[in-house]
Amino acid sequence: MIRPLRALAWTAVSVPDSPVYLDHAATTPLRPQAISVAESLLRGSFGNPSGMHSEARAAKTVVEEAREVVAAELGAEPAEVVFTGGGTEADNLAVKGVPGSGGVVVSAFEHKGVLAPADRLARAGRRVARVAIDADGIVDLDALVAALDADTSLVSVMLVNNEVGTVQPLGEIAELVREHAPGALLHTDAVQAVPWLDVAHDARDAQLISISAHKFGGPKGVGALVVRDGVALDPLIEGGGQERGLRSGTTNVHGVAMMAAALRATAERRASDVARVGALRDRLSWGLLRSIPGSWINGDGVRRVAGNVHLGIPGVEAETLLVALDREGVCAAAGSSCQSGATEPSHVLAAMGVPANDALSSIRLTLGWSSTEADEVIPRIVAQLRPENASAAS
């Protein structure tokens, strides 16, 4: 397991020698295949892929080979893949890039990379509807139908929720969009789906698909948006006209090559990783539920990806628990990586109808390709933090 900054003398945090990493939904360690590509490219391929000379052409070849891999794994044509600076940029391009003044429909528990640009469109006068979520963390299809009309230009529903890990019925959603808003584009944030699902199949009905490399063993700061042939978007970043004019700027050659390598490795090992990690996840969740009285799992227990345990623990604040766990070498989170430090309840859990106190007592434990074991320290720390035990100890 890669532990950056461990050896830097200025770090003030004492990190255990063998931390248990349960925050793969926030970011994943680099896959060996991505590291191998980086080591090779960092010694060469320094040219600007927009140029004409031999070094530029070599870099261009690296980019286009990466594009072919990404396209194949996402069920797209190479020309339909637009490289971006990450999942949030891909989401923004999908939401704000759809031209016209038509309505925008999003689920209420989308990633902030979708909700924030949708809110901006609303402030600019566009009709924006947020579709309700049921208590299990699944989009309410009746509410979706009620929000759709002939004037709807974009519908955005994530394939896998980034906090509770629930898998959305994207095929049914696509059918409803075709029936009730035939002129609308369907976008899905598939950032959390790639490690666990065959996105090429499960998102085949979406015209716009966002991914982010660091969620499946690639580097941070690089992602992609699939833009199906015939779909017109207005760019967010203009300049030299790279990426078919949809994302100007010098392409991150090393980043996209590492992403492609990680994506290919993820696809090749997905079936075995899902089985192995799913067994680890089940052992972890069952053990926690048995060991921590009154605890519960947020979200549907079946319709979720293999690496997610979203645990509610009565009588313990998530923030306090996470600090204590970190001291014991367990890395976890209270919500999405974009708001892990927030003291307000998660908007995802709020959309699911989880009471505020329960939401503030919930933590997200996520496993991934590098996970090898669960940890037994959590119940012990919870017991120490519960009010009756804390008062007895004092």
Catalytic residue among 141, 338, 350, 383: 338
Q: List C-alpha distances in Å: 354 to 267, 349, 394.
A: 34, 5, 32
How would DSSP label each residue in 22-50? -BTTT--PPPHHHHHHHHHHTTS--S-TT
Known catalytic residue: 338? yes
Characterize 189-218 residue by residue with b for buried, 16 or more Cβ atoms within 10 angstroms of its Cβ, and e for exposed.
Answer: bbbbbbbbbbbbebbeebbbbbbbbbbbbb
User: Please, what sign has the CA dihedral across residues 333, 335, 336, 342?
Assistant: negative
d(CA 55, CA 70): 23
Q: Which residue, among 108, 153, 114, has the nearest Cα to 132 in the 3D structure?
A: 108
**Cα–Cα dist 187/181, whole Å:** 14
HEC string of 282-337?
Answer: HHHHHHHHHHCCCCEECCCCCCECCCEEEEECCCCCHHHHHHHHHHCCEECECCCC
Quote the CA–CA distance of 171 and 169 in Å, as a whole number. Answer: 6
- Sheet containing 362-366: give its strands across: 296-297, 308-312, 362-366
Strand 223-227 relative to strand 81-84, pairing: antiparallel
Structure tokens of 58? 């070599």
Structure tokens at 309: 């345990």
- Which are the catalytic amino acids? 338
